[in-house]
Amino acid sequence: MHSVKDNLLRYSRDPKWLVLILAGMGTFMATLDVGIVTVALPTLTKAFRITPGTSQWFALAYTFAITVLLLTFGKIGDLAGRKRVYAGGILVFAAGSLVCGISLSAPMLIIARAFQGVGSAITMSAGPALVTEAFPATERGKALGFTGMAVALGLLSGPLIGGAIVQCANWRWMFFINVPVGLILATLLLTQVKGFDTKRDGNLDLTGALLMALGLGSLLIGLTFGGKLGWSSSVVIGNFIASVVLVTAFIAVEKRVKHPVLDLELFRNREFAVGAAAGWTNYASMMPVTVFTPFYLQNILSYSPMKVGATLAFGPITLAVMAPVAGCLSDRIGYRVLTSTGLLISALGIYSMRLLGPASAWGDVVWRLALTSFGSALFTSPNSSSIMGSVAKRDLGIASGVVALMRNLGMVSGVAIAGAIITSISPQFTLHGLHSAFLASAIIGLGGAALSTIRVGTNPSKPES
């Protein structure tokens, strides 16, 4: 009994645990709002009397704002102090949620969702950096594993909570619930957590930040609308060309300025470069399973929406359970074995999805989803810890932004690739098209597994300068 009391006292006096809890809750809120609106799109379409094409911007405005601003706010966190930047992000997110809840028109809600996305970009870039700064290198994997669990729980809970609110209350409460929670988190962080406010000399490279945001925005528009407008359409090709030009200009600017948004020298670090690239392969291979499996379950197996949700839940549940375990293991045995093995298992799970047919049993689907998510969980926390541990303390914010950026870009590009394969085989959803898309996703995952074998075999010592 005394040892339990002693441990509780020790944890309550150690700020790192409070940092982990607050960062985890902020991460949960940000990822929750990715999916919470998706399930309410039909309701919002009717409420504002708009077309489904317009209503998709309630989701896209949020994800676009996050993706294009992640690196910028990661750099701002490094310069201005991560605690105050993270708390500011929570407050921006809460304010955006309030405006979402009181929106009187579709344009107002779209703008409010973008503003809410700005807050999420701040928390997603500053949160892991704050956790990494709070924990020693020997516990970094465990801490980031719990952050990964918060991501999985947010993705799992979003559709469930959103569906429950839409069914039992007014849709506006999807946003109002964030306001008091955000205010409490920001207050606790600013008043109860001491330190983590170290500032650095330097200015934000506004030109580089603008070029990067425009370049990523053009890329996202091309990837998002390529399947709908056609990959050869002038709009899609124009955005891809613009993206190449803008990113090239961004790289040229970053090489010349004294304080770049993204220090390109970081990519000379093998651990950092491999981790970033492998992170993209993980999400690019996994996301098509999440997005297109529901079509298989509903159109081929004739599952009800509730049964579809219950079936898909096994993926995030597996991630939530295994992410902390994988993080703890990486603190003990290093990254290379876990990341390579995880992506290999995930790729095998995705490939096994190709064996599902029109008469497959529920259990056949579930164990494949669980296997795929098990492999991803083995990879994600160790890979994040590997990236965060490969940079100096002064660059934790930008490293955290890179982790989140690779996640978002992987999700968008993975779905775009799979969608292009499916529609190239038939304009209608077919099992053959789905199997072909899963084959491509499995190949991407295998490539990531091979890439992960060239990273450092054991935990690198965390640079402190």
Q: What would the pLDDT profile of 158-195 be if each residue is shown by its tens digit?
A: 777 777 787 788 889 989 999 999 999 999 888 888 77
Rounded Cα distance between 159 and 175, Å, is 14
**CATH homologous superfamily of domain 1-201?**
MFS general substrate transporter like domains (1.20.1250.20)
Rounded Cα distance between 315 and 357, Å, is 20
Decide if pLDDT at 9 tops 50: no
Rounded Cα distance between 399 and 273, Å, is 11
CA dihedral 76, 78, 81, 86 (to 10 degrees): 60
Decide if pLDDT at 285 tops 90: yes
Task: Identify the top-confidence range among 76-90, 307-321, 352-366.
Answer: 352-366
What is the average pLDDT score of the chain? 85
State residue 101's pLDDT score. 93
Contact 275, 390 (CB under 8 A): yes
Task: Identify the top-confidence range among 41-45, 144-148, 283-287.
Answer: 283-287
State residue 230's pLDDT score. 84
Decide if pLDDT at 1 tops 50: no
Structure tokens at 196: 């983590």
Decide if pLDDT at 432 tops 80: yes
Chain position carrying tokens 């990494």? 132
Rounded Cα distance between 391 and 415, Å, is 30
DSSP letter at 459? P
Amino acid code (one letter) for 310: A
Q: 246-252: list long-range contacts, CB under 8 Å, 24+ apart.
A: 246/211, 246/212, 246/214, 246/215, 246/218, 247/211, 247/212, 247/215, 247/216, 247/219, 249/211, 249/215, 250/208, 250/211, 250/212, 250/215
Contact 112, 174 (CB under 8 A): no
State residue 461's pLDDT score. 46
State residue 8's pLDDT score. 43
State residue 88's pLDDT score. 92
State residue 347's pLDDT score. 96
Closest Cα partner for 377 from 282, 271, 273, 272?
Answer: 282
Rounded Cα distance between 425 and 364, Å, is 25
By percentage, how much of the chain surpasses pLDDT 70? 93
Mean pLDDT, to the nearest integer, of 262-282? 89
Rounded Cα distance between 265 and 369, Å, is 38
Asked if CATH classification 3.30.110.30 holds for the domain at 265-465, the reply, yes or no, is no
DSSP letter at 43? H
Mean pLDDT, to the nearest integer, of 133-156? 83
pLDDT band (50, 70, 90) for residue 437? very high
Residues present in the chain in total: 465
**What SS3 state is found at 41?**
helix
Domain 1-201 and domain 265-465, same fold? Reply is yes
Decide if pLDDT at 249 tops 80: yes
Mean pLDDT, to the nearest integer, of 94-101? 94
Decide if pLDDT at 144 tops 70: yes
Of residues 19 and 227, which shows the higher confidence score? 19
Decide if pLDDT at 199 tops 80: no
Decide if pLDDT at 452 tops 80: yes
Amino acid code (one letter) for 432: H
pLDDT band (50, 70, 90) for residue 451? very high
- Write down the domain spans for the chain: 1-201, 205-258, 265-465
State residue 460's pLDDT score. 47
Of residues 342 and 401, which shows the higher confidence score? 342
**What SS3 state is found at 136?**
coil
State residue 367's pLDDT score. 94
Contact 113, 61 (CB under 8 A): yes
Rounded Cα distance between 388 and 392, Å, is 9
Decide if pLDDT at 352 tops 70: yes
Contact 463, 393 (CB under 8 A): yes
Least confident of 17-31, 139-153, 190-204, 261-275: 190-204
Decide if pLDDT at 440 tops 90: yes
CB neighbour burial string for 240-255, b if at least 16 within 10 angstroms, e if fewer: bebbeebbebbbebbe
Mean pLDDT, to the nearest integer, of 13-38? 82
Give the helix ranges, DSSP H, for 354-430: 362-389, 396-425
pLDDT band (50, 70, 90) for residue 41? confident
Least confident of 181-185, 211-215, 331-335: 331-335
Decide if pLDDT at 371 tops 90: yes
CB neighbour burial string for 172-183, b if at least 16 within 10 angstroms, e if fewer: eebbbbbbebbe
Decide if pLDDT at 113 tops 60: yes
Chain position carrying tokens 């966190």? 77
Contact 129, 77 (CB under 8 A): yes
Rounded Cα distance between 34 and 158, Å, is 7
DSSP letter at 458? S
